[in-house]
């Protein structure tokens, strides 16, 4: 507690209480270091899963067996899905930027429960390792798809139990992180920061955390039930024993649909921070954005059935879920309009973070509008389980969440590391990634509409043109991503020293040193006005 001014001003990266370097990381309860721990783990897994995705694309370059057989392909798409969903995008933005910037943005020194925070990272790593083991243990990689649909997941002889346990454990980590953030936001806001003076990223994290806390246990118990079905002869989902496979889908999507909002809400929060800064203009419709986060979380909890339109659920049930799916599009659209209005009339500075954020809007719009095609009952039947669906959710998850993640990295990189990356190279990597992304996923919409099913390792020759274009796009995309990662690594090692406020932001994160000191603030700030209040004299 008795820290002098001098030790106070050591950046969190230089604060090293332990002699052995790695201990400073794995024993640190500093929310910033934990955020970086998540960032590094996620990056490693991202490269693995992206590589698996590339393998799938190469396999589909030509009809028939190209580089792997059907069973390997089943394993690869399952592993790709499990890693991408459970290890990367669900913790993703919330765990990295939430940990790093949530306390800073609300003027706190740390999260509410720092030890619990580190503990969640350990649980996360345990789950991730278990997921990796499931790929290599004898029995073969799980081949159920990341959705673990029964009855197949109850019968498959592959390592499904390992993967189920991994998902269960990862869910536990997610719950504890959410719990931590909710208490942090309730209890640790700086004096004067009322709910409606809170920046919008914390708002989106708040909504996300509630979903994490309230939806994840449902999938936890569901996965346990599948494990019980495989090991204990308890057949809740086995028709031979009276069970109901559709019930599994209900339970699974009660979690997994809200999980989509766990992914996208923090992404929306990040770009909401970016637009005002690079337009030098207050956010348009502050309360609308804040409340639409909560509305998305609330309504998003009740639309799970739109994944099940073709399973034979009741007519009224389909009607109800379809209707709510259209309703949930409204708050998302409110946000998009507000972002655009924020830029309107602002002094726009087209730096890499803004480029990525605009890319986010563009891709998220395509993903969202094709989502309505899927949410409408009649068209859903036509495109169900085709690559149209694959393209749709990649536009949302990668184009939305992924691009927002990269936007956030470009935005906060100078704050996190105190160094600057090469702006020109960042622009180039954005353009290559953006082009590669669209070349990769857009053809899947078209061949999906024509009837190309998802999860098939082989296809009829008439779909080949689409698959070839798509595979070329995959290579372009990978190149773009590697340029970006290279730029970050070089920036972190020998980039220029970044000033405390390179983008002229006005939120609390830009009022402190880069990189922040151990306790973020010398003195807890007192908040007297709304966030995003840009003063004229600052521009001079």
Partner 1 sequence: MEDKKHHISSFNSLLMVLIGLFIMTGISVMITEIHFSTFSVGVALLLASIKGYLVLTYFMHLKYDEPIFRIMVFLILLLFAIVIGITFIDYLLR
Partner 2 sequence: MSHEFNDDVGKKMGMWIFIFTELFLFGGLFLVYAVFRANYTEGFHSAAADLDAFVGTLNTVILLASSATVAMSITAVQKGNNKLALRFIIVTVILALAFMVNKYFEWGHKFDLKLYPGSEIMEQLGKGEILFFGLYYMMTGLHALHVIIGVVLLMISYFKVKNGTVNSQKFIFLENSGLYWHLVDFIWIFLFPLMYLVT
User: Which residues of the shown chain bind partner 1 in the complex (CB under 8 A)?
Assistant: 186, 214, 246, 250, 254, 301-302, 305, 312-317, 320
Give 250 or 467: the residue with its C-beta nearer to partner 1.
Answer: 250
Residue 109 interacts with partner 2 (CB under 8 A): yes or no: yes
Give 114 or 502: the residue with its C-beta nearer to partner 2.
Answer: 114
**419 sits in which H/E element:** strand 419-420
CA distances from 325 to 125, 254, 306, 376, 397 (A): 34, 14, 7, 8, 17
Give 99 or 280: the residue with its C-beta nearer to partner 2.
Answer: 99
Strand partners, 419: 497
With CB cut-offs between 5 and 8 Å by kind, which of partner 1, partner 2, none does residue 53 bind? none
Euclidean distance between CA atoms 134 and 149, whole angstroms: 17
With CB cut-offs between 5 and 8 Å by kind, which of partner 1, partner 2, none does residue 472 bind? none
User: Nearest distance from residue 263's CB to partner 2, in Å?
Assistant: 19
Q: What angle do CA 296, 302, 306 make, to 5 degrees?
A: 105
User: Nearest distance from residue 495's CB to partner 2, in Å?
Assistant: 29
Residue 241 interacts with partner 2 (CB under 8 A): yes or no: yes
3-state secondary structure 261-327: HHHHHHHHHHHHHHHHHHHCCCCCCHHHHHHHHHHHHHHHCCCHHHHCHHHCCCHHHHHHHHHHHHH
User: Nearest distance from residue 453's CB to partner 2, in Å?
Assistant: 30
Q: Contact at 8 Å (CB) between 449 and 380?
A: no
CA distances from 342 to 4, 279, 411 (A): 42, 7, 17
Residue 423 interacts with partner 2 (CB under 8 A): yes or no: no
User: Nearest distance from residue 305's CB to partner 1, in Å?
Assistant: 7
For 378, other C-beta atoms within 10 Å of its C-beta total 9
Give 318 or 394: the residue with its C-beta nearer to partner 2.
Answer: 318
Strand partners, 420: 496
- The dihedral sign for the CA sequence 151, 154, 155, 159: positive
With CB cut-offs between 5 and 8 Å by kind, which of partner 2, partner 1, none does residue 475 bind? none
Euclidean distance between CA atoms 419 and 495, whole angstroms: 5
Give 209 or 272: the residue with its C-beta nearer to partner 2.
Answer: 209
Give 1 or 497: the residue with its C-beta nearer to partner 2.
Answer: 1
**Looking only at residues 26 through 85 of this chain, which bind partner 2 when binding is defined by CB under 8 A?**
29-30
Angle between helices 200-231 and 160-187 (to 10 degrees): 150
With CB cut-offs between 5 and 8 Å by kind, which of partner 1, partner 2, none does residue 24 bind? none
Of 37-45, 110-118, 361-369, 400-408, the window that binds partner 2 (rule: CB under 8 A) is: 110-118
What count of Cα atoms within 13 Å lies in the side-chain half-sphere of residue 60?
Answer: 37
From 63, 114, 282, 451, residue interacting with partner 2 (rule: CB under 8 A):
114
Give 300 or 505: the residue with its C-beta nearer to partner 1.
Answer: 300
User: Nearest distance from residue 219's CB to partner 2, in Å?
Assistant: 8
Q: Which of 354, 355, 390, 352 is nearest to 370 (CA)?
A: 390
User: Nearest distance from residue 136's CB to partner 1, in Å?
Assistant: 37
Q: Contact at 8 Å (CB) between 179 and 209?
A: yes
Of 141-149, 236-244, 264-272, 455-463, the window that binds partner 2 (rule: CB under 8 A) is: 236-244
Euclidean distance between CA atoms 272 and 354, whole angstroms: 11
Euclidean distance between CA atoms 336 and 331, whole angstroms: 9
User: Nearest distance from residue 514's CB to partner 1, in Å?
Assistant: 36
Interface characters, 175-214, with partner 2 (x: CB under 8 A): x--xxx-xx--xxx------------------------xx
With CB cut-offs between 5 and 8 Å by kind, which of partner 1, partner 2, none does residue 68 bind? none
With CB cut-offs between 5 and 8 Å by kind, which of partner 1, partner 2, none does residue 233 bind? partner 2
User: Can you give the binding site for partner 2, defined by CB under 8 A?
Assistant: 1, 3, 17, 29-30, 109-110, 112-114, 116, 175, 178-180, 182-183, 186-188, 213-218, 220-222, 225, 228, 232-236, 241-244, 247, 250-251, 254, 518-519
């Amino acid at each position: 507690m008795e820290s002098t001014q001098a030790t106070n001003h050591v950046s969190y990266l230089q604060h090293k209480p332990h002699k052995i370097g790695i201990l400073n990381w794995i024993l640190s309860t500093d929310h910033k270091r934990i955020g970086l721990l998540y960032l590094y783990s996620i990056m490693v897994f991202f490269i693995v899963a992206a590589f698996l995705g590339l393998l799938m694309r190469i396999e589909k370059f030509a009809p028939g067996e190209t580089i792997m057989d059907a069973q390997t392909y089943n394993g690869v798409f399952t592993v790709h899905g499990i890693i991408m969903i459970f290890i990367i995008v669900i913790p993703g933005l919330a765990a990295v930027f939430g940990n790093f910037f949530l306390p800073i943005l609300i003027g706190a020194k740390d999260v509410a429960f720092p030890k619990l925070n580190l503990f969640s990272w350990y649980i996360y790593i345990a789950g991730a390792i278990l997921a990796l083991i499931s790929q290599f243990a004898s029995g073969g990689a799980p081949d159920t798809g990341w959705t673990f649909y029964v009855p197949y997941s109850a019968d498959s002889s592959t390592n499904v139990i390992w993967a189920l346990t991994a998902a269960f454990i990862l869910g536990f980590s997610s719950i504890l992180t959410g719990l931590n953030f909710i208490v942090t936001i309730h209890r640790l806001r700086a004096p004067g920061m009322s709910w409606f003076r809170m920046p919008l990223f914390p708002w989106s994290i708040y909504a996300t955390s509630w979903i994490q806390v309230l939806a994840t246990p449902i999938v936890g118990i569901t996965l346990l039930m599948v494990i019980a079905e495989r090991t204990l002869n308890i057949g809740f989902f086995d028709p031979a024993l009276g069970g109901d496979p559709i019930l599994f889908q209900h339970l699974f999507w009660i979690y997994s649909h809200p999980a989509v909002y766990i992914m996208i809400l923090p992404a929306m929060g990040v770009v909401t921070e970016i637009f005002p800064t690079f337009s030098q203009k207050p956010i348009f419709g502050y309360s609308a954005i804040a409340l639409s986060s909560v509305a998305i979380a609330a309504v998003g909890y009740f639309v799970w059935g739109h994944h099940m339109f073709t399973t034979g659920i009741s007519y009224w049930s389909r009607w109800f879920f379809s209707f709510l799916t259209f309703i949930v599009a409204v708050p998302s659209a409110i946000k998009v309009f507000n972002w655009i209005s924020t830029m309107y009339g602002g002094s726009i500075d087209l730096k890499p973070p803004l480029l990525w954020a605009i890319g986010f809007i563009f891709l998220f719009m395509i993903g969202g509008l094709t989502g309505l095609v899927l949410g409408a009952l009649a068209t859903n039947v036509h495109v169900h389980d085709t690559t149209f669906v694959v393209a749709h959710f990649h536009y949302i998850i990668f184009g939305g969440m992924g691009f927002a993640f990269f936007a956030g990295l470009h935005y906060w990189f100078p704050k996190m590391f105190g160094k600057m990356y090469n702006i020109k190279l960042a622009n180039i990597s954005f353009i290559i990634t953006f082009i590669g992304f669209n070349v990769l996923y857009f053809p899947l919409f078209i061949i999906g509409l024509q009837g190309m099913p998802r999860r098939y390792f082989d296809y009829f020759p008439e779909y080949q043109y689409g698959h070839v274009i798509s595979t070329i796009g995959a290579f372009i995309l990978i190149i773009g991503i590697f340029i970006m990662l290279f730029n970050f690594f070089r920036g972190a090692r020998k980039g220029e020293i970044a000033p405390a406020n390179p983008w002229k932001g006005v939120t609390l994160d830009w009022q402190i040193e880069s990189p922040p000191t151990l306790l973020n603030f010398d003195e807890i700030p007192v908040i007297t006005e709304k966030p995003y209040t840009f003063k004229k004299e600052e521009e001079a």
